[in-house]
Amino acid sequence: MMQMTLLIEDDERITPGTVSVTEETPLSGRLLISAHTEDFFEPLTFTVSLDD
């Protein structure tokens, strides 16, 4: 998950140090990704399914 966090933080639209990648539940195959940007007041939150 550290590699994914670093790749997301490499995006110039993301505020450095604000990325959070966590597994929804153990072995669920779903990751919750949250990050702050310069353009939005609320953090962006995405759910990614690893099964797709």
- Digitized pLDDT (tens) for each residue of the chain, 52 residues in all: 788 888 888 988 888 898 988 888 777 778 888 888 878 777 777 777 877 5
Please, which residues have CB within 8 angstroms of residue 48's CB and are 6 or more apart in sequence? 30, 31, 33
Q: State the SS3 of the chain.
A: CHHHHHHHHCCCCECCCCCEEEECCCCCCEEEEEECECCCCCCEEEEEECCC
Range of the structural domain that residue 40 is part of: 2-49
Number of domains in the chain: 1
